[in-house]
Amino acid sequence: MHVGGLGLYEAPDGMSGSDFLRELHQDMSAQQDFQPTFRKHPATLFGGIANVGWTFDDEVDLDYHLRRSGLPAPGRVRDLLELTSRLHGTLLDRHRPLWEAHLVEGLSDGRFAVYVKFHHALIDGVSALKLTQRTLSADPNDTEVRVPWNLPPKRRETPPDEPSLLHNLTRTAGSIAALAPSTLSLARSALLEQQLTLPFGAPRTMFNVPIGGARRVAAQSWSLERFKNVKQAAGVTINDVVLAMCAGALRQYLLDQNALPDEPLIAMVPVSLRSEADADSGGNMTGVLLCNLATDTADPAKRLDAINTSMRNNKKVMSQLPKVQALALSAMLMSPLALTVLPGFVSSTRPPFNIVISNVPGTREPLYWKGARLDGNYPLSIALDGQAMNITLANNADNLDFGLVGCRRSIPHLQRMLGHLEDSLKELERAVGV
């Protein structure tokens, strides 16, 4: 249950990756002040580790949490991903604060890598990505070394006209009071008009099995411009293009394994619930939808159209609900994940969905760390019982950076998904004429 991230950096001009990394490690090791989040680990109860509360370390052993590694020759990216797979498949020590950072040198092209992981109970993936971005700078001449563990919490500005707690409670009560008519509308859309994709309609696949503890990871970047070109030619959204690219890759991967079901795969997709009127407001307005990936369709253009229709219909249903109920509906769509802890649940029921595909907001400009340019920023999420593969991506300047995580026992040859993703994007480009 830990989330991670793999960053690829290019050292400043005139420095090798190894020399730069040695200096960076020294600068990081000198920073021994830790925010409370980075001092927390599970408390002990009656002599054993319990999951009912936290305790805080007064002294953190930074030499344990901050580690430096070297790749074997020839230092291929494939070697880096194999190391990252092993690191992502090992448990965090519950007797220590639940985070690690690994500096990795030895890439043949002179770059270096940073792999970090946090337990999800400590910090979620989006927050971890934002925290990492706060250590970086848009200025390549900024030589200050910032580290996640001593960054102060961001000060939250309270608008002078922020509603009171009583007002919020009253507004929430009003939304709940309106539940009945909205629920009837939702039921009509879901059951009669069949606009809403509901859980447990997905086929059983090789992804929806109990998993082991070892992991495989794969990562690659694609130019954002390619996605924009397909979006404009087809009249869809960039996220539709991402989903269609993933759908084509999943279809070919399953065909290679003689495991493609006759029914289309269903993906759980986090989406923004923010309307145009809310565009400049703060707060969290994120929900989830289930999307028909149309993997039963061989034609990439028809697959893209089916995905666009599925997402548009689901968003339409969600947009007709008050925000409180939209978030409650999202919670309902995700709730089957909690049932996977029940013995026999994964093996005896249809999966609620087949895979999670998440597009995480990143940065739109190049970022630097002590002058080293961030070339790739690959989010690595969680595989679960019944969800043996996860695809997460983040935008990084002019690229979309994909991070794939799979159960090592259940998902063979995960690396081949990268080739399938490239082939799928090329098929979409040909299909729409770009």
Which range in 200-209, 218-227, 285-294, 361-370 is most confidently predicted, on average pLDDT? 218-227
Q: Check if the beta carbon of residue 80 is closer than 8 Å to that of residue 106.
A: no
Residues 382, 408: Cα–Cα separation, whole Å: 13
For residue 220, the cross-strand partners are: 402
Q: What DSSP string runs through 283-313?
A: S--EEEEEEE--TT---HHHHHHHHHHHHHH
Q: Which CATH class is domain 185-365+378-432?
A: alpha beta
For 265-296, give one letter per residue: b (16+ CB within 10 A) or e: bbbbbbbebeeeeeeeeeeeeebbbbbbbbbb
Could you tell me the two tokens for 184?
Answer: 């009837």
Of 185 and 232, more confident: 232
For residue 360, the cross-strand partners are: 394
Q: What residue spans define the domains of the chain? A: 2-150, 185-365+378-432
User: In the chain, what percentage of residues exceed pLDDT 90?
Assistant: 65
Residues 305, 320: Cα–Cα separation, whole Å: 23
Q: Give the active site residue among 41, 65, 120, 167.
A: 120
| Whole-number pLDDT of residue 326 | 65
Burial of residue 136, with CB atoms counted within 10 A of its CB: 0-12 exposed, 13-18 middle, 19 or more buried: buried
Q: In CATH terms, are 2-150 and 185-365+378-432 the same topology?
A: yes
Q: How many helices (H) and strands (E) does the chain have?
A: 12, 14
The CATH number assigned to the domain with range 2-150 reads: 3.30.559.10
For residue 390, the cross-strand partners are: 356, 405
- Annotated active-site residue 120? The verdict is yes
| Whole-number pLDDT of residue 391 | 98
Beta strands in 39-98, from DSSP E residues, in sequence order: 40-45, 48-56, 66-70
| Whole-number pLDDT of residue 115 | 97
Cα 125 to the center of its chain, rounded Å: 6
| pLDDT tens by residue, 248-283 | 999 999 999 999 999 999 999 987 655 544 443 334
| Whole-number pLDDT of residue 203 | 94
Q: What DSSP string runs through 198-248?
A: -TT-SPP-TTSS---S-EEEEEEEEEHHHHHHHHHHHT--HHHHHHHHHHH
| Whole-number pLDDT of residue 387 | 93
